[in-house]
Amino acid sequence: IFDSISSSNLDLSLVNDSPFEWMITMSDFRNVFGQDLQKHATRYKTEPEVVLNVRFPSQYPSRAPEIRIVRPILKMYTGRSCGGAFCIPELVRKGWDSDNEIARRGKNPEKRMSRLLDTLRDVLQEHGRVDMETCNAYPRKYFDAAMSRIHARPDFEKAYSVDGIFY
């Protein structure tokens, strides 16, 4: 599965040698988000990259993986994220099923994950802004709280979008 997802701007590694949990480092972003990452990296002497943590449920690919931003912290209401959780339909129960857009474009789990990572890269690149005031990582509890709010809302699309655009 790594071979089908790997690219020059993605680095994947297993967490504790488990195939069910990955760390993914994304780099080489363009436009304003890429500039933000570069400024942040210079300021805090880090790399200009986004680190994601991915956990696969035992029901994958029938259920969506849990994907959270570890670092950098994004400015509030940018990157279609909240507390490190991506607020996009493809990653919530309602939006992830065998008929969703990602599944139609890639029927097997490897293609599905690759397409999802492409989607997340696009979302970050188009909508993300880095919080320049901190070099910390998102605490896990922020992600858990955000996911609880997202899954508790049957009207997810209304709750986390403005004029149909998700933040």
At 20-75, the pLDDT tens digits run 999 999 999 989 999 999 999 999 999 999 999 999 888 877 788 899 999 999 99
CA distances from residue 115 to 104, 112, 120, 123, 141 in whole angstroms, order as listed: 11, 5, 9, 12, 27
Q: Which residue has the tokens 């931003």?
A: 69
CB atoms within 10 A of CB 67: 23
CA pair distance 70, 136, nearest whole angstrom: 9
The whole-number pLDDT of residue 147 equals 82
Question: What pLDDT band is residue 114 in, cutting at 50, 70 and 90?
Answer: confident
- How sure is the predictor about 126, in pLDDT bands with cuts at 50, 70 and 90? very high
- Render 55-85 in DSSP notation, one character per residue: E--TTTTTSPPEEEEEESPBPTT-TTEETTE
User: Chain-wide mean pLDDT for the chain?
Assistant: 81
Q: Give yes or no for residue 141 having a pLDDT over 60.
A: yes
Tokens of 106: 């890639």
Count CA atoms within 13 Å of residue 89 on its CB side.
16
Q: Determine the pLDDT at residue 123.
A: 92
Residue 107: the pLDDT is: 55
* Token pair recorded at residue 58: 């035992």
Lowest mean per-residue pLDDT among 63-77, 82-96, 133-147: 82-96
Please work out, in degrees rounded to the nearest 5, the angle formed at the alpha carbon of residue 71 by the alpha carbons of 68 and 73.
95
**pLDDT at residue 105 in the model:** 56
CB-CB neighbours of 96 under 10 Å = 20
Task: Give the pLDDT score at 131.
Answer: 96
pLDDT per residue as tens digits for the range 152-164: 665 555 544 444 4
